[in-house]
Amino acid sequence: MHVSPHIPTLDDVANAAGVSTATVSRCLNEKQKVSPKTLSKVMEAVESLGYTPNFNARAMAAKQSHTIGAIIPTMENAIFARGLQAFQETLLEQGYNLLVSSSAYQPKLEAQQIRELVARGADGLLLIGYERDEAVYDYLARRGIPTVLAWASMPDKGHASVGFDNRASMRLLADRVIEMGHRRIAVISGITEGNDRAAGRLAGIQDSWQAHGFDLAALPVIETPYETENGAAAFAELMQADEKPTVVMCGNDVLASGAISKARDLDLDVPGDVSVTGFDDIELAKHVFPALTTVHVPHRQMGRIAAQSLVGLIEKRSEKVTRQLDVSIVMRASLTSI
Amino acid sequence: MHVSPHIPTLDDVANAAGVSTATVSRCLNEKQKVSPKTLSKVMEAVESLGYTPNFNARAMAAKQSHTIGAIIPTMENAIFARGLQAFQETLLEQGYNLLVSSSAYQPKLEAQQIRELVARGADGLLLIGYERDEAVYDYLARRGIPTVLAWASMPDKGHASVGFDNRASMRLLADRVIEMGHRRIAVISGITEGNDRAAGRLAGIQDSWQAHGFDLAALPVIETPYETENGAAAFAELMQADEKPTVVMCGNDVLASGAISKARDLDLDVPGDVSVTGFDDIELAKHVFPALTTVHVPHRQMGRIAAQSLVGLIEKRSEKVTRQLDVSIVMRASLTSI
DNA sequence: TTGTAGGCGTTATCAC
DNA sequence: GTGATAACGCCTACAA
């Protein structure tokens, strides 16, 4: 005999406790408005029935889900892991849940995910970077969905955001590299199209290069997706040049770790034969050998502040702001003077 | 002047198109039941209004969400990334969306996340491993939520699952290590309590050790959470023994990469002074130096099959099965004969 | 092929 | 402090 499973509802609890559904709802959401007696009576019923509120019904009736959505470009590597972790922790403290999805660095997919999350009733959104179709911003505005952008910071764009200046940060590192005597720099950049962070980082190197009076045409650049394998391949290609670079600056740590790994395959010593730099300072950066010189990003701080701003916006306790965080250069063994 | 944003509903579309809500609903869900004429008329209205169906309302009315939930122990490192990726891809092909959350290796948190996902209307669940409170299984059964367990396979437990035999797999590797002449083995295991995969892997080493006639008391074991730092610390501790091990076998690649990294700090050559092995064969394993000898797990295959079984269960097209996948040993530079 | 209407499980606004 | 009752936005018999 097969009994189709009956999932207990508010009604069931109300019946079992001998009160109305309204009262049960109060017991669950605003205990203080209910007499201790009935409260305990109701809670007993809840327990014994194994009742769990239906999220969808609740969201629909209350017109808010206490859920916020985040869309990150990738979950494959740890680039966003620490920041997102902090984001989520802070959200939980504030009584919000997090829904994450990944756009695989595809603007169209991101737009779709945004609609999906909004359709699911997300009270607010966390997005990475600025660059996306204006239609997306329109959509968000029309629907009145509070949104915070992270991992970048461009104060004049008028969006709420918390991040850092990718361009200026990378320039800092490039300046350092040049000061250390490097004159033959090669770059492995992430794909810049549709990715303002990658574009900014590349531009930062170019800024520094030109400011030191060098010719842009003499700065080899390979653009490739953020994956270890690609970093390795690009490195191999760059090292085939007649004038080999003395340093390879990479758009992030993942690319850089691929480069280092390939250097070993090619029997090249890092930093003896060629220096390598990264960006992000993810966990990996400390554990590759030689350890990576990179730009340290305050991941956790960024995640925490993003959560606070977003909740502030949702609960209309604060206005849109753009917070620019400080980064720092972390000198490790992979970069040496010349 | 501030206009509170009006979000278009089925009603709005119906009005705009001059049809009933039922017809609009059909246009969205079962096009074939609608005349081409009205279809195009309706779709136009949908477009121009920028209508997106409300997920919560839909799920509630249809009593299914086309969403499946997955709870993995951690997102911090890439252990589950590839498998989950394949899981999601397959799910999308079948018209299902994936909701992921992480339990931080805490059974209580996992139980909570399960309730959360079920409350959100998940049609089915993917869980990692077998070991959890019986009450959880009861809950799932009572609610009739199809569930598939992955990353482990214990046919006699009577749960739908797709994975591999952690114990037998690790034993394979341990046999190999011993065959290669190692007689002083030390182990860095994950926390075994509440984690059948970690426990199985440790047991596999012990099986092999005893089968070769050695004493369990002479097999040093440190249990520590799956993080690089912990692998490093445990390695340092193990190498302080009077009788230094000739090989350190680690519960997974993350632990192993920490061990290798620490070896370098201690000026120990791997595998010259001491060999190191891992488990999982995640991306990292190829890129650490020296590259890791490890147990290759068919991540993508596992994810794909898990998705297919789960959808099969949900749509009642198939019965619970437990699929046991083959693993293989990948020999790389971190392990050498003695 | 299309429309009508009831119901999904909550919350929230009223009275009482 | 508690109880009716009307939303919330959609799906789905059922009827036309």
- Is residue B271 reached through a cis peptide bond, with omega within 30 degrees of 0 on the bond before it? yes
* pLDDT tens digits, one per residue of A261-286: 999 999 999 999 999 999 999 988 99
Q: What is the mean pLDDT of residues A13-30?
A: 96
Q: What is the CATH number of the domain that holds A6?
A: 1.10.260
pLDDT, position B287: 87
A125 and A40 in a common domain: no
Instruction: Compute CA B208 distance to the chain's CA centroid, rounded to the nearest angstrom.
Output: 27
A228 and A84 in a common domain: no
Q: Does a structural domain hold residue B54?
A: no
A293 and A221 in a common domain: yes
Interface list for chain A against chain B, based on CB atoms closer than 8 Å: 4-5, 7, 50, 52-57, 59-60, 65, 75-78, 81, 85, 97, 99-100, 115-116, 118-121, 139, 141-144, 228, 257-258, 261, 264, 283, 286-289
Q: Which nucleotides of C are covered by protein (CB under 7 A)?
A: 1-13
B287 and B194 in a common domain: yes
Q: Does a structural domain hold residue A190?
A: yes
| Alpha helices (H) in A97-221, listed in sequence order | 107-119, 134-143, 166-179, 196-211
**Residue B3: pLDDT band by 50, 70, 90 thresholds?**
low
| pLDDT higher than threshold 60 for residue A1 | no
The Cα–Cα gap between B256 and B189 comes to 10
Q: pLDDT over 90 for what percent of chain B?
A: 91
Q: What's the total number of domains in chain A?
A: 3
A305 and A157 in a common domain: yes
What Å value separates CA A171 and C1' D14? Answer: 69
| pLDDT higher than threshold 50 for residue A56 | yes
B76 and B21 in a common domain: no
Q: Do B119 and A55 touch (CB under 8 A)?
A: yes
C-alpha distance from A33 to closest chain B C-alpha (Å): 25
* Residue of B4, B10, B55, B106 to mutate, interface with A, max A Cβ within 10 Å: B55
Q: What is the mean pLDDT of residues A151-180?
A: 95
Shortest CB distance from A52 goes to which of B56, B119, B289?
A: B119
Q: Taking CB atoms and an 8 Å cutoff, what residues of chain B touch A74?
A: none
Which of A148, A147, A174 is closest to A163 using CA atoms? Answer: A148
| pLDDT higher than threshold 80 for residue B2 | no
Q: A333 to each of A265, A281, B208, B227, B288, how far by Cα in Å?
A: 19, 14, 41, 23, 16
Q: Do B289 and A261 touch (CB under 8 A)?
A: yes
Q: Do B60 and A60 touch (CB under 8 A)?
A: yes
Q: Measured from the CB, is B59 under 7 Å from any atom of strand D?
A: no
B105 in Cβ contact with B74 (< 8 Å): yes
| B124 residue type, one letter | G
Q: Does a structural domain hold residue A54?
A: no
| pLDDT higher than threshold 90 for residue A304 | yes
Q: Taking CB atoms and an 8 Å cutoff, what residues of chain B touch A81?
A: 75-76
Q: Do B76 and A85 touch (CB under 8 A)?
A: yes
| pLDDT higher than threshold 60 for residue A9 | yes
What Å value separates CA B22 and C1' C4? Answer: 9
Which residues 6+ apart lie within 8 Å of B213 measured at CB? Answer: none
Shortest CB distance from B118 goes to which of A52, A139, A141?
A: A52
pLDDT, position A76: 79
The Cα–Cα gap between A207 and A151 comes to 20
- DSSP-derived letter for residue B192 is -
Instruction: State the residue range of the domain holding A158.
Output: 66-163+299-326
**Residue B1: pLDDT band by 50, 70, 90 thresholds?**
very low
Which of B285, B217, B288, B202 is closest to B251 using CA atoms? Answer: B202
pLDDT, position B316: 87
Q: Does a structural domain hold residue B248?
A: yes
A277 and A225 in a common domain: yes
| B283 residue type, one letter | E
Q: Does a structural domain hold residue B318?
A: yes
A190 and A276 in a common domain: yes
Q: What is the CATH number of the domain that holds B121?
A: 3.40.50.2300
A20 nearest nucleotide via C1' and CA: D3
Please tell me which residue lies nearest to nucleotide C3, judged from CA to C1': B20
What is the residue-averaged pLDDT of chain A? 95
A284 and A174 in a common domain: yes
* pLDDT tens digits, one per residue of B143-185: 999 999 999 988 888 899 999 999 999 999 999 999 999 999 9
Q: Does a structural domain hold residue B128?
A: yes
Query: Which strand (E) or helix (H) includes residue B265?
Result: helix B253-265
Q: Does a structural domain hold residue A332?
A: no
Instruction: Find the residue in A nearest to B139 (Cα).
Output: A50
Q: Which nucleotides of D are covered by protein (CB under 7 A)?
A: 1-5, 7-13
Q: Does a structural domain hold residue B76?
A: yes
Q: Measured from the CB, is B31 under 7 Å from any atom of strand D?
A: no
Q: Do A289 and B264 touch (CB under 8 A)?
A: yes
The model's pTM: 0.91
* pLDDT tens digits, one per residue of B228-272: 999 999 999 999 999 999 999 999 999 999 999 999 999 999 999
B115 in Cβ contact with B182 (< 8 Å): no
The Cα–Cα gap between A259 and A236 comes to 8
B279 and B182 in a common domain: yes
**Residue A320: pLDDT band by 50, 70, 90 thresholds?**
very high
- DSSP-derived letter for residue A241 is S
Q: What is the mean pLDDT of residues B133-140?
A: 95
Q: Measured from the CB, is B11 under 7 Å from any atom of strand D?
A: yes
* pLDDT tens digits, one per residue of B76-113: 788 998 999 999 999 999 999 999 988 999 999 999 99
Instruction: Find the residue in A nearest to B261 (Cα).
Output: A287
A292 and A175 in a common domain: yes
* pLDDT tens digits, one per residue of A57-68: 999 999 999 999
B189 and B153 in a common domain: no
**Residue B75: pLDDT band by 50, 70, 90 thresholds?**
confident
pLDDT, position B76: 79
* pLDDT tens digits, one per residue of B299-331: 999 999 999 999 999 998 899 999 999 999 999
pLDDT, position A75: 82
